[in-house]
Amino acid sequence: MWQSVLFDFIDQEVFMNEQTEAKGKKKDADSENMDPVHVIRKGAIAASIWQRQSPSGFAYYDYSISRSWKAMSSDKTGYSKNYFSTNQADLIEIIQKASAWIIEKQESEQKAAPEMLVPA
């Protein structure tokens, strides 16, 4: 019985997320066409790592986290930004891995940057 309630809740959550996401579709066309530079997955949880640039020109990385789902009643699939307590371990691992990937990438770029600035 609890599974039925859970899946009904998930279906309702999906409907609400789809409505919210439809309202947010007014984003800049350039930002929607960009793909993440890296994706890290663990179970149903994924971190998408993005390379961004501030208005002043400063380049940086950040990440967004999502949970994939599949409705048992309709086989509909999608992604959510909401999580269950059972996702805790995967969330912690994904956050640690995404942060470590960004730190490693920034360090490698900083090491390469002085070589690029040396005049020929």
Query: Is the overall model pTM greater than 0.75, yes or no?
Result: no
Write the CA distances from 42 to 6, 13, 67, 111, 118, integer angstroms: 22, 22, 10, 30, 41
**Terminal-residue alpha carbon distance, the chain:** 72
The answer to whether residue 93 scores a pLDDT higher than 80 is yes
pLDDT at 99: 98
Q: Where are the domains of the chain?
A: 2-114
pLDDT in tens, 5-41: 444 444 444 444 444 444 454 444 445 458 999 999 9
Instruction: Say if CB 47 and CB 98 are below 8 A apart.
Output: yes
Q: How far apart are CA 58 and CA 102, in angstroms?
A: 15
| Secondary structure of the chain in HEC code, one letter for each residue | CHHHHHHHHHHHHHHHHHHHHHHHHHCCHHHHHCCCCEEEEECCEEEEEEEEECCCCCEEEEEEEEEEEECCCCCCEEEECCCCHHHHHHHHHHHHHHHHHHHHHHHHHHHHHHHHHCCC
pLDDT bin (cut points 50, 70, 90) of residue 115 is low
Q: What is the mean pLDDT of residues 50-64?
A: 95
